[in-house]
Each structure stands twice: as C-alpha cells, then as structure tokens.
Structure 1
Amino acid sequence: MIVRRLLPGFVALCLGALLAQALAQSLGFNRLLLAIALGFVATNVVGIPTWLEPGLATHNLWLGAGIVLMGASISVDTVLEVGGPVFLLVVVAAALSLLFVELLARNVFGLTEQLGSLLAAGASICGVSAVVAVAGAISAREDQIAYAAATVLLFDAITIVVYPIVGDLLDLSGTVFGIWAGVSMFSTGPVVAVGFAHSEVAGQWATMTKLSRNALIGVVVLAYAGYYSRSGGGSRPSLRTLWDEFPTFVLGFFAVALIASAGLFSAAQQASIEHAYDWLFALAFVGLGTEIRLGNLRATGLLPALVVLLALLASSALSLTALLVLF
C-alpha cells in the first residue's frame, strides 16, 4: 500500500532527473540546478496533483542517501589536514549568526522572543530543520513556526541563484566556494546543489562543512530549552527528541568516508558509488524545486525577512573574508 502511494511521485522524480540530464547535455547548464528549476516550474506553473505529493516528499530521503554515499569520495587525510580551522570557522560563524539574529530581532525590530529564536536557529544551523527542532523546545506557536520556515525557504531560493553567480564573479576556488556555501547558506539541499554546480571539489567541501554545522543542532536545542524553561516559556526535550532531530546521515557519511579511506572499495566500486550519489542528488533536487512555492514565499513577513537578510549578508561577508585569508 505504501509503495503504491509513493511510486507515482518517485517516478516523477526519476523523469525529472532524466529530463534535467538531457537538458544539461543540450544546453550546457548544470544538471542539478536544472533539476531544481524543473521542480520549481512544475509546482508553480504546471501544478502538482495531490497523488504525486507523497512520492515527491521522499526527496529528503534521496538527499540523505546521496550524502552518505558521497562519503566514499572523501579523503579523510584531506579533511584532517584542514578540518580544524574549518570546524572552528563553522562554530564561530554559527554562534555569531545566532546571536546577531537574536539581537536584531529582539532589540532592533521588536519581534517576539520565540520568533526571533526560530529565525536565529534556522539562519545559523540548518534551515527549516532547525526551526522545527527548536520550536518544540521553546513552545512556539504554529504561526511563528510558519513565518520562520517561510523566511528560511525564501533565502534558500535566493541563495541557490546568487551564490553561483558570486562564486564565478570572484573566481573562487572549489575549496573556498564550497566551505563558504557550507558556512553561510541555510539548508542542506541548496548547499549541496550550489556546491556541485561550482565543481566536484566545491560540492564535497560544501557538504562536509554543512554536515559539521548541522551536527550543532543538538547543542542549540538544549541551549534554547534551558533558557526558555527557566523563563517558563518552554520545555526540556527528551533524548529521543534530540535523536529524532539529529541529522543521522552525518554519521553514515563519515562511516562511509572511513571505509573508503581504508581502501576497502575497489576502483570500480568507487566509480559506481559516485555515479549512484550523482543520480540520487538529481532526484532530490527535483523534489527540492517542488518545495519552493511562490505563494508561501509571498507570505513571508517583511521584518523577519529583513532580519535574516542582514544576518546572511554579515555571515557571508565575514566568512568569505576569513576563507580568503586562510586559503
């Protein structure tokens, strides 16, 4: 029964990925960005039938599977060589972004505490996933969750377009561009998309950097839960809740990376795995495009969007400056 319900949408994702591949070969555009564009056109111009929606919603599953398999192409030695400074940059950038959004939301623009915290979590950690995770810890209202999620999705859509353009204009190397995207963009899907749109190296660094940032979600949820429980506005999350919200594909990614670094994959197996995650990303990004709905983006409040815009500009500028100094 579940297979019958999911199959039509999954087939639609496959057809979209194949069409993106064909268009990429004929037009010379990046296949993953074309996959997002096809999903966007399908949902905003053509319209998505309700019977396709369950299968289309599996795109996060394919993204996670692709990220896990991508670990096979990562050199642990390379990660260890430059991983310390990068992880430090991730932690500092996330902390500063979170504090900056909180400061602007509460003291400059007069937004409610809960809405400001949701915006801060979404902008500093991992997009809508962080919004949802923190919402449960601070007892946020549904309308606040909707505003924060819509704001994050708005900037996901913008950065998918803007970051590749900026990367080309500044002629950034694959390493610098990938880490910059992973440090400053919001959600995992757009980060992976723009990374691989730049280059294979950029895609790998964008993914690794974003995964390390995603792993901070548990710390942020606990911090907000502690703060709001003291003020009587939230509840302490259980270990089960924290595990449910933790991006477990991070663990799979590093496990596969360790196996590959130990030389347990043959050259043929390595090539097959790379081909598999390439197609999994294509499926995921068709589905990601269907999530970018103009109606929802128009519902974004002006003040929340302005707060997040200022935080994004500051985070992007400071992190890029730091990376250009480091690399």
Structure 2
Amino acid sequence: MKKTLHEDWIAVVLAGLSLILIFSGLKPTLPKFEWSDGASLTAQLSSAKNWGNMGVLYVWLCSCLAITRLLSSQPVSIHLFLGALFLVTVAFFAQVITGNKAIQQYGIEIVLFSLLLGLFISNVLRVPAWLKAAIQTELYIKIGLVMLGSTIIFGDIMKAGAFGIIQSVVVVFTVWYFSFWVCKKLGLDDEFRMMISSAVSICGVSAAIATSGAIEGDNKKLSQVISLVLIVAIPMMLLMPPIAHALNMSPAVTGAWLGGTIDTSGAVVAAGTLAGEEAFKIATIVKFSQNVLLGIAAFCISLYWAYNKKQENAPKPGLKTIWERFPKFVLGFIVASLIFSFLVSPATFKDLKAPIKDLQTFFFALAFVCIGLETKFKDIFGAGNSRPALAFVIAQVFNIFFTLIVAYLVFGGLFGA
C-alpha cells in the first residue's frame, strides 16, 4: 500500500509552495470589478486583464489539486480540472457581484456571495457527480489559514498595545465557557459544543475549522456551524454601528465592541468602516488579537480532546496520540507568522501583502463555494436541527453584551481611553 500524506500536511506544503512562488516574483491577482451600471460592467467583463487573472488562478488551483492527488496516491482525472473550472467560474461571478458599488458600500466580501451561489446551486439546482472531485472544502480553508499566518505580524499586535490583547483574552475564555455550557444544556454533542464555542468566542469560521481539525470533527456539523457564523454576521455587521452611534459610544469602545463580537474579518472591516476611521482601527486590532489566539486555542483543544475523548477501556493517550490528532496546519500558520514577522523585511512584506491576500481570499472563496454546494437548508433549519442554531444565537447574544461591558472597561471607563 502506498504511503499517503495527511491532508493537513498537504495544505502546509501547498501554502508553502504558494508563498515561495509569490516571494519569487509570481504575484496572482483576483479579477477587479467596480461597476454601477450595465455599461461599466460590460467593459470590465470584456477586460483581458481580468480574464488573464482568472486564468492564472485556475492554473494555480489545478496545480494544487493535481499535487494533492499525487501526494495522497489518488489518480488525476479530467473531472478534477472540469470541477476546478466550475468552482473558479462561480467564484468569478461572486467577485463580479461584490464589485457592484452599492454592495461595496456595505463592505461585503466575495466569500459571502461565494457561499450564496453555492447554496443556490445545491438547494435549487443540483450538484453534478463529476464536480465532487474538486470539492475539497477543508483543504482550501487550511491553505488559506496557513497563508493568513503570513499576514499576522507580531509587531503590529505589539504596536496596538496591551488593551486589545487584554480584551481578547478575557472575552475568548469567558464566552467560550458560556457557549460550551449553553450547548451542553441544549443537549448538543461534544463536537458541536467545541466548534460552536470556538466559532463564537475566537474568530468565527477560522476557529471552527481549526477546532474541527483538532477533534477530527464531522464535516456536516462543521458546514452547519460555518453557515450559522456567516448568516448571523450579516445583521450584526449592519446593525451594530448605528446602535453604537445611537448610544453615543466613543470610537475606541465602538471598535473594540465590533472587533470582539463579529465573527468574520470581512464583516469586522465592513462594520468598522461604517463606524468611522478610529473605530475601524481599534476593531481591526482587537480582531487581530483574537486571531493570534487561534493557534493557542487549537493546541489546547487538541490536548483536551486527546486526553478526554478516547475509546472505552483504551489506554490514556500519550504524546504520539496528541501529535497525531494535533492539526498540523496550525503549525504552518504559526511558522508562516514567525517567518514573516522576523525574517522578512517590512518593505518586502509590504510588496508581497497584496498578492498573498488575493490568493488567500481566492482559496477562501473556493471553500465557501464548496460549503454552499455541500449544505442543504433542511440540514440547518429542518426538524431536529434547530438546537445548534439556537445555541449559537444564545451564545452570540451573550457575547454581544459581555464584550460591550469589557470594551467599555478596557477602552473606556476603567483603564482609560
């Protein structure tokens, strides 16, 4: 039997190769759209540059999928490349929709429309069998997460001061345990408890994925949690800035509140933009601080799971078991952050940040298309499936009020502005 490489390691390899290629001068770019009427849209759809950028990303994806197949000792078929073309096309249309100026005012990113298009295909049309070879949700997100590590520079966090880190630590631990308690009271299983608690308290989708990897969770449960994160983030993103304004919150408290409660980075950016420049800055700092805790949280969760979730009468797991269950892509995330924090010059990082961000967004968009393709509304809101949604909403409401109190204490009344 041929020895295969674990998906986590494949994601680290592919992300590493992608970063090396970008560092070597190959800079992938997402197609760019900014339109308000049919004429401007037609002009940009006929742009050779946009189609060229899409072609580069398609080849990039095909190469990643082919390498994945080879490293996992699976055959490479024409269906793989046809499926890749389908996914890239859906992501391309999501980018077109996102480019509408009216939509841009709300700061909605490509991942939301990637998910919505995938959900439409899955629930209204159907997912063809030949497409399934290219539906690699976890692989795409893990690649994106490793690349995300390269953009989280420890120096930026330190410049932000201790306030953001203080709030993040207090909020993450408190909200996580409250969420876990709510899930337990509602009778959810341990996998749901872990994924929902991490998603609500740390950083949404990324935390849910990292937690699922640490506990070897069910992909259907993961898709359900991710869908809940994105659905709930939309009204929070639109309603929280005007609420903060109506309550006469300072920009610092507003930003800390937004960054500590909204679970997706894109929605945090959008809400911060609506709330003003100073609020945007603080919201980004707080969200960055929570993102940094992702690796630590995944490590702690993997330790807990290895020692507490074993087969009946099985011996206590040792270091080997912990290593086997530990999500290796988290190591890639940490190593990428360390390399770009301490070994890459600020000038070089500034030059590389845009293509890294574009490629990271591309993989996340593909992942959300796949999540939509794999998700049925009846699986989320159907009979017997309401408890995870209820648990998530209750935990998020607690998160909103508790984080507001902590934000006021840390950025407002207790420690100063």
TM-score range, shorter chain: 0.7 to 0.9
Distance 1:97 1:123, change over 3 A: farther
The one-letter amino acid of 2:390's match is: L
Question: What secondary structure, in the 3-state scheme, does the structure 2 residue paired with 1:236 have?
Answer: coil
1:47 CA drift (Å): 1.9
1:42 and 2:121 are equivalent in the alignment: yes
1:79 CA drift (Å): 0.6
How far apart, in 2, do the equivalents of 1:120 and 1:156 lie?
14
Distance 1:278 1:260, change over 3 A: farther
Q: What pairs up with 1:172-191 in 2 under 5 angstroms? A: 176=256, 179-181=259-261, 185=263, 191=264
Q: What pairs up with 1:1-327 in 2 under 5 angstroms? A: 1-2=75-76, 4-26=78-100, 28-29=102-103, 30-32=108-110, 33-57=112-136, 59-70=137-148, 73-82=151-160, 84-106=162-184, 108-109=185-186, 111=187, 115-125=188-198, 126-127=207-208, 129-131=210-212, 133-134=214-215, 149=222, 152-153=225-226, 155-169=228-242, 170=244, 176=256, 179-181=259-261, 185=263, 191-198=264-271, 206=287, 209-227=290-308, 236=317, 238-244=321-327, 247-258=330-341, 262-263=345-346, 265=348, 268-299=351-382, 300-327=384-411
Question: What secondary structure, in the 3-state scheme, does the structure 2 residue paired with 1:215 have?
Answer: helix
How far apart, in 1, do the equivalents of 2:93 and 2:337 lie?
32
Do the aligned residues in 2 keep the contact of 1:160 with 1:194 (CA within 8 Å)?
Answer: yes
TM-score by length of 2: 0.59
The one-letter amino acid of 2:259's match is: I
Question: What secondary structure, in the 3-state scheme, does the structure 2 residue paired with 1:124 have?
Answer: helix
How far apart, in 2, do the equivalents of 1:260 and 1:95 lie?
32
Question: What secondary structure, in the 3-state scheme, does the structure 1 residue paired with 2:348 have?
Answer: coil
TM-score by length of 1: 0.72
In the alignment, structure 2 segments of 5+ residues that lack a partner are 1-74, 199-206, 246-250, 274-279, 412-417
Do the aligned residues in 2 keep the contact of 1:119 with 1:308 (CA within 8 Å)?
Answer: no
In the alignment, structure 1 segments of 5+ residues that lack a partner are 137-144, 186-190
Question: What secondary structure, in the 3-state scheme, does the structure 2 residue paired with 1:47 have?
Answer: coil
How far apart, in 2, do the equivalents of 1:68 and 1:228 lie?
27
Larger radius of gyration: 2
CA RMSD across the alignment = 3.9
Relative contact order, higher structure (CA 8 A, sep 6+): 1
Cα deviations by residue, 1:242-295 (Å, 9 ceiling, x for unpaired): 333663342244135315763361754444334433444433333343344212
Do the aligned residues in 1 keep the contact of 2:215 with 2:302 (CA within 8 Å)?
Answer: yes
Cα deviations by residue, 1:75-117 (Å, 9 ceiling, x for unpaired): 53321133644444444334333432444455x54x3xxx453
How far apart, in 1, do the equivalents of 2:120 and 2:257 lie?
27
How far apart, in 1, do the equivalents of 2:232 and 2:196 lie?
12
1:49 CA drift (Å): 1.1
How far apart, in 2, do the equivalents of 1:156 and 1:24 lie?
19
How far apart, in 2, do the equivalents of 1:295 and 1:234 lie?
40
Do the aligned residues in 2 keep the contact of 1:90 with 1:213 (CA within 8 Å)?
Answer: no
Question: What secondary structure, in the 3-state scheme, does the structure 1 residue paired with 2:405 have?
Answer: helix
Could you say which structure has the higher helix fraction? 1
The one-letter amino acid of 1:326's match is: V
Do the aligned residues in 2 keep the contact of 1:17 with 1:286 (CA within 8 Å)?
Answer: yes
Percent of residue pairs bearing the same amino acid type: 16
State the match for 2:51 in structure 1: none
